[in-house]
Amino acid sequence: MSQPAEGVATQFATIAIVGVGLIGGSLAAAIKRRSLARTVIGVGRDAVRMAKARERGLIDEAATHLGQAAASSDMLIFCTPVDRIVSQVREAAAACRSGTLVTDAGSVKGTICAGLASGLPAGVGFVGSHPLAGSEKQGFEYADAELFQGRVCVVTPLPASPRQAIDRVRRFWEGVGSTVLEMSPEDHDRALAATSHVPHVVAAALAAILDADKAPLAASGFRDATRIAAGDPELWSAILLANRDSILSSLQNYEHSLRKFHEALAARDAQRLKELLLAAKSKRDGLVAERN
Amino acid sequence: MSQPAEGVATQFATIAIVGVGLIGGSLAAAIKRRSLARTVIGVGRDAVRMAKARERGLIDEAATHLGQAAASSDMLIFCTPVDRIVSQVREAAAACRSGTLVTDAGSVKGTICAGLASGLPAGVGFVGSHPLAGSEKQGFEYADAELFQGRVCVVTPLPASPRQAIDRVRRFWEGVGSTVLEMSPEDHDRALAATSHVPHVVAAALAAILDADKAPLAASGFRDATRIAAGDPELWSAILLANRDSILSSLQNYEHSLRKFHEALAARDAQRLKELLLAAKSKRDGLVAERN
């Protein structure tokens, strides 16, 4: 009998998801719904939470010992906070079989990819990933097998990354429905500073000044503009610190942009204000329509 | 035969909606669906657009002459840009019958209410309103008869406003499904600077710095945070200028808040960053759930 050709279906015998929150839980659900692996192991420190994820059918096996899970998996995906990924990958890699593929779902790539550029056992390949999907919600209770469908996933190889490992990671993300963009970790971090990390700071700074007595007058505009500020402070402080330099640079651009609006308003310069608002509207209108 | 009691149904024989865009068109639709008037006249300068609104069934009669429409209406609602409302109300009021009620839907109340505090013909009462409903979309094509359902409408009487006129305006907004809050024009403007006008500036300043090459990496967070920046620049520059002083004051609060985040990140102060993010999250989480 011939082996089945490697296609989208059942790319892996066993995938371990390390960190089963919103992203990890959604990935587990997506893998199972699309039959990308025969077995999905969920790895987490809290045995009770992991048992619940298993009861829900998100994962096939629950593990609290990273090394054991790593030893029996063909692929590991780290969905843990960005400041923990490097040390966890190192710990897991020591137990991995040769040929095991390792990636992550962290929102910052430079520090993670640089931290894993060398020193992993031969035969264990790490290629960073960042699926641009998520929510201000937390926990696998909000897991959604279609979270990655139609979304962009950025894959960030290093110059030394073997093409085969990059392609296997790409195929995995395509398998859960995403469109893959490949770029360097540094380009990723500069772009995400502008499109995600600075917007988070901007939204949080805005939410922070809402007086309780004015809350009844906060309508959909305020709610939209501050929605991301409901994200987990622990996760987000780690993201901001891990991409500090790009964020500070992008934040300076933003402050300069804000200053232009401030000055036009202070000067009662209607023409200038309209120009600034029109330029902003054109940029916003240029974004392609969202999926629902 | 006794007169029907004044209830929610058919409060008015004829209501004129001046400015039939998203808000005016939605109001017309809401009035008709809820039978708050026997006849709805739409008033606008563009005869072709007004004929289209009539063909759609949003309004019963289309008018391009404000005075004529005013003369045959019991209530007028101005849904025109905030910098035109005062002069238009004056023009209309000169033609109104005694007992006609006049309100508006402008996002700024101080300049409008002060501009109309005196000099209207005896028997014509103006009480300002601001329904907290809307969208970045424009035009009666997006009209929604349920736009005001479950939303807050702020009614901003002056000390001299007759209680009867205030109550009739309140009942009107309750009739289209809104919860009415009553406050002074100045309190309204201070609150809306923080909950709507500064968020608009913040979102526009953020949208303005998006480079085209980074747009594919703008996910739901960026889209949410900048959605209101797609609003009409003409309308918004008028709103910002009409509430300039309160906005400048609130913008200063915002810049101070942003500076705290900036400094904590620059100093790599993880603890401080977490505290700031947590305080922002608490404020955002404190907003009651949105209607869908």
Give the Cα separation of A175 and A169 in Å (integer): 10
pLDDT at A238: 96
**ipTM for the assembly:** 0.91
Residue A152: list chain B partners with CB under 8 A.
Answer: 216-217, 219
B268 vs A contacts (CB less than 8 Å): 241, 244
The structure tokens listed for B27 are 């109001």
pLDDT number for residue B292: 35
Give the lowest-confidence range in A178-182, A213-217, A240-244, A275-279.
A213-217
Q: What is the pLDDT of residue A290?
A: 52
d(CA B73, CA A230): 47
CA A13 to CA A25: how far, in whole Å?
Answer: 18
CB spacing of B281 vs A229 below 8 angstroms? yes
A261: chain B residues, CB-CB within 8 Å? 201, 204-205
pLDDT at B158 over 50: yes
B contacts of A270 (beta carbons < 8 Å): 237-238, 241
Interface of B with A in 169-208 (CB under 8 A): 181, 188, 191-192, 194-196, 198-208
Q: What is the mean pLDDT of residues B256-273?
A: 98
Contact residues on chain B for A230, CB-CB shorter than 8 A = 281, 284-285
Chain B CB contacts of A233 below 8 Å: 274, 277-278, 281
Q: How much is the pLDDT for A11?
A: 82
Q: What share of chain B in percent tops pLDDT 70?
A: 95
Output the six-digit token pair for A63.
């593990």
In this prediction, residue B149 has a pLDDT band, given cuts at 50, 70 and 90, of very high
Q: What is the pLDDT of residue A6?
A: 45
For A191, which of B208, B214, B227 is closest by C-beta distance? Answer: B214
Predicted pLDDT of residue A243 = 98
Q: pLDDT higher for A135 or B66?
A: B66
Q: What is the mean predicted confidence (pLDDT) over B282-287?
A: 93
Looking at the complex, does the CB of residue B285 fall below 8 Å from at least one CB of chain A? yes
Q: State percent of chain A over pLDDT 70.
A: 95
Mean pLDDT of B156-179: 95
Report how far residue A89's alpha carbon sits from residue A115's, in angstroms, rounded to the nearest whole number. 10
pLDDT, position B134: 78
**B255/A209 Cβ within 8 A:** no
Residue A219 to residue B247, Cβ atoms within 8 A: no
Helix (H, G, I), strand (E, B) or coil at B61: strand
**Per residue in A201-222, is it b (16+ CB within 10 Å) or e — as a string?**
bbbbbbbbbbeeebebbbbbbb
- Of the candidates B134, B199, B248, the beta carbon closest to that of A225 is on B199
Mean pLDDT, chain B, whole residue set: 93
For residue A130, list its beta bridge partners: A154
Q: Which of A222, A240, A284 sits opposite B207 (nearest CB)?
A: A284
Three-state secondary structure call for residue B178: coil
Q: What is the pLDDT of residue A5?
A: 41
Chain A: closest CA distance from residue B2 (Å)? 41
C-alpha span between A111 and A23 (Å, rounded): 20
- Out of B214, B217, B241, name the one closest to residue A270 (CB): B241
Percent of chain B with pLDDT over 90: 89
Work out the average pLDDT over B199-226.
95
Interface of A with B in 211-270 (CB under 8 A): 211-234, 236-238, 240-241, 244, 247-248, 250-251, 253-255, 257-258, 260-262, 265-266, 268, 270
Which residues lie below 8 Å from residue A221, measured CB to CB, with a gap of 6+?
B134, B195, B196, B199, B200, B203, B227, B228
How far is Cα A211 from Cα A136, in angstroms, rounded to an integer?
A: 22
CA distance A255 to A249: 10
Residues B290 and A227: their CA atoms lie apart, in Å, by 11
- Which strands, in side-by-side order, build the sheet including B152-156? B128-131, B152-156, B179-182
Number of CB pairs, chain A paired with chain B, less than 8 A apart: 280
Burial, B185: exposed, middle or buried (Cβ in 10 Å; 0-12, 13-18, 19+)? buried
Assess whether pLDDT exceeds 70 at residue B7: no
Q: Which residue of A149, A281, A285 is the best one to mutate when testing the B interface, meaning the one whose CB has the most B CBs within 10 A?
A: A281
The span from the CA of B56 to the CA of B40, in Å, is: 13
Confidence check: pLDDT of A3 > 90:
no
Q: What is the predicted pLDDT for the residue at A12? A: 93
Q: Is the pLDDT of residue B6 over 80?
A: no
From CA B218, how far away is CA A283, in angstroms rounded? 11
Gap from B81 CA to chain A (nearest CA, Å): 14
Residues 96-115 of A with CB under 8 A from B: none
Predicted pLDDT at B4: 40
Are B133 and A219 within 8 A, CB to CB?
A: yes
Instruction: Please answer yes or no on whether B205 and A258 come within 8 Å at the CB atom.
Output: yes
- What tokens appear for A18 in the block? 């390390």
Contact B224 A220 (CB under 8 A): no
- The whole-number average pLDDT for the span A175-187 is 97
User: Which residues of chain A does B188 touch, with a Cβ-Cβ cutoff of 8 Å?
Assistant: 217
Give the phi and the psi of residue B142 in degrees, each rounded to 5. Answer: -100, 10
Distance of alpha carbon B181 from alpha carbon B196, whole angstroms: 16
Of A188, A202, A260, the CB nearest to B206: A202
Please report which confidence band the pLDDT of residue A288 belongs to, taking 50, 70 and 90 as the band edges.
low
pLDDT, residue A289, reads 61
Q: Which of B111, B198, B209, B276 to mutate to test the interface with A (most CBs of A within 10 A)?
A: B209
Distance from CA of B176 to the nearest CA of A (A): 17
Q: Nearest by CB to B277, which of A134, A236, A280?
A: A236
Interchain contact, B216 vs A283, CB within 8 Å? no
